[in-house]
Amino acid sequence: MSEPLRALTDLDRVIHEPARLMIVSLLYLTREADFLWLLRQTELTKGNLSAHLGKLEQAGYVDVEKRFQGKIPQTLYRLTESGRKELEQYRATLKRALEDSR
């Protein structure tokens, strides 16, 4: 097995899960976003989205800030620097492996 293909086994499993990959990719394109925006974009259920965000927060890839917009509670999410780097590394590994398999 070639080196890039072997590197696939080292892919970060927290990011590799499809729903979390979608969340991290969306957050990569924003400075910050709230729960409702992510809910609309991912079309996941509230419980599912919340669980995935919890896992990303545990891994240190996402920062969470709770605040009020007027009287309405709002939860903001930001990708941390390590989250950004991890996604970039994930993309690079995947790209290398795909190019290698052609």
Compute the CA torsion angle 44, 92, 14, 80 (nearest 10 deg): -80
Show the binding pattern over residues 33-72: x = contacts another protein (CB under 8 A), - = does not: xxxxxxxxx----x--xx--x------------x--x--x
Smallest separation (angstroms) from another protein to the CB of 52: 11
| Chosen residue from 14, 21, 56, 62 binding another protein by CB under 8 A | 21
Q: Which of residues 70-89 bind another protein (CB under 8 A)?
A: 72-76, 87
Query: How many other CB atoms sit within 10 Å of the CB of residue 43?
Result: 8
In this structure, are residues 80 and 58 in contact, taking their beta carbons and an 8 Å threshold? no
| Chosen residue from 2, 5, 6, 28 binding another protein by CB under 8 A | 28
